Amino acid sequence: MAKIINVEKCIGCGRCEQSCIVGCISKNENNKRVINTNACVDCGACQLGCPINCIDNF
């Protein structure tokens, strides 16, 4: 199972991207973060890094 970011809640801080051990998080055109669910290894590091808890299981 992969993770997904709620882009409505995302504040664009980038902490999840910095926490990701496989580099599968990137910025979209609105400066929000998105997860490449095909590359996500479901480690949960991004969830721990997110200060507003906007990352859930896909």
Q: What is the pLDDT of residue 37?
A: 94
**Structural domains in the chain (count):** 1
Q: What is the pLDDT of residue 1?
A: 80
CATH number of the domain that residue 23 is part of:
3.30.70.20
The domain in which residue 52 lies consists of 3-57
Long-range contacts of 13-17 (CB under 8 A, 24+ apart): 13/51, 15/49, 15/50, 15/51, 16/46, 16/47, 16/49, 16/50, 16/55, 17/46
Q: What is the pLDDT of residue 58?
A: 85
> pLDDT tens digits for 10-55?
999 999 999 999 999 999 999 999 999 999 999 999 999 999 999 9
